[in-house]
Amino acid sequence: MTQVVPPILSVTPSRALVDEKFKVLVENLPPGCPVTVRSLHHSEDKDDWEAYGHYVSDHSGVVSVSEDLSYGGTYTGKEPMGLLWSMRPVPGSRPGLRLRKMNVCTPMLVTVSVHSGHEGFRDQAPLASVLTERWYMAPGIRRININEQGVQGTLFIPPGPGPFPGLLDMWGGGGGLLESRAALLASHGYVSLALDYLGFDQESENLEFKYFETAFNIIKDHPQVMPDRVGIFGLSLGSLVAVTLAAYSTIVKPCCIVCISCNHYYPARGSTVTSKFEGVTRQLSKARVNEDNQVIWKDVALEFITDPSNIAEVGRINCPTLLVNGCDDQNWPTVETAEDVARLMREAGKEHLLSRLAYPDTGHLIEPPFSPHFRATTFVMRSSKEKVILLWGGQTKPHSDAQEDSWRKILSFLQFHLYCSPNLKAKI
């Protein structure tokens, strides 16, 4: 493509939260001009991630990613946010990668560029490019390291005097302290504690239970938190903690719980969550491996939860509960778990407390909107330190749609149960 005046590329807004949409517009192209619009991100792990769509400019020389069809690339059709949710490692990258933002005090930097034609775009200089910032932490959020009463985590407090509702936020069996979702929840008006819990081997179930209860109370007792408006948010193994606290604790009384890819496997009373999880992973050594050498835990895990003595007494839960699961989850039998939770709560006369979201062709790792889909990634087994490729499941387009839809409904659920109360309103 030869022209005197270069095309004009704009991304609006160029700085936004990760769950906010942007608009990408290319102007000043020749009419009917084939171009590729590409996004590129260099991760904190030093890996490059990309997405791209092939477009043809209209009669006025414009390509609008929000309005026009992509004719090929990592996504097709009219996909305003395809440049984010369809991101994948560039060709030649290490296998099993997962994109995670560990330092939430800095933005995820994404370069959006436009290239001539539909082929060979990686080998040519862009016609135009724009650097965009995607943030988990909104301006004014306070981030506070927590290391008190034996509890370790990170507290995020929205700007303003409050008081605010609170959330205890826990990720799954991968371990480590992940702050991104808690920072994003704080950006939506919740004092959120990202809790590190798998790195501490408690001596007994009682001591471990006390650890979680203490973490909950750190939020509840904070002067900017409404003490009767604290919930629990967990994914995978974190959802098991949410369920067991809501069911068994005499100290913790959550106002509501959100369980993504729910787990209610709770055998061997008296043992800790960590020891239960390590016991599970040892048994999962006999799990099926597919033709791509990806480990599928779901089938073996299904055997665990068919024994009633192995599951938590979810009928004891007395707060509104939201279950979110993918119907193509290959890591854990979350569809069967959700059905069992519904049955047990119905038998206890508490089905009115339960809300369920289930998404076809969606896998285990349901994250905030526009996060890339990870069908299979590297996972380090806690007991043996062996690295395996775990199959999480899901197909990219429906999984990404599910992340967007479920996040909107999760925020509505939290708003209804933690904010919608007379005379209790935070000053944001």
Model pLDDT for residues 240-259, shown as the tens digit of each residue:
999 999 999 999 999 999 99
Q: How confident is the model at residue 424 (pLDDT cuts 50, 70, 90)?
A: very low
pLDDT of 203 above 70: no
Q: Which of 364, 373, 399, 417 is catalytic?
A: 364
Q: For the stretch 108-123, what's the b/e string if a residue is b when 16 or more beta carbons lie within 10 angstroms of its beta carbon?
A: bebbbbbbbebeebee
Q: Catalytic residue at 329? A: yes
What is the reported pLDDT for 175? 76
Q: How confident is the model at residue 176 (pLDDT cuts 50, 70, 90)?
A: confident
Q: Which of 86, 180, 236, 400 is catalytic?
A: 236
Q: Catalytic residue at 201? A: no
Please provide the average confidence, as pLDDT, over all residues in the chain: 93
Taking the complete model, does pTM exceed 0.85, yes or no?
yes
Q: How confident is the model at residue 426 (pLDDT cuts 50, 70, 90)?
A: very low
pLDDT of 398 above 70: yes
Q: Which of 116, 329, 373, 417 is catalytic?
A: 329
What is the reported pLDDT for 284? 72
Length of the chain: 428
Average pLDDT of the segment spanning 170-182: 91
Q: How confident is the model at residue 264 (pLDDT cuts 50, 70, 90)?
A: very high
Average pLDDT of the segment spanning 115-134: 96
Q: Catalytic residue at 188? A: no
Q: How confident is the model at residue 84 (pLDDT cuts 50, 70, 90)?
A: very high
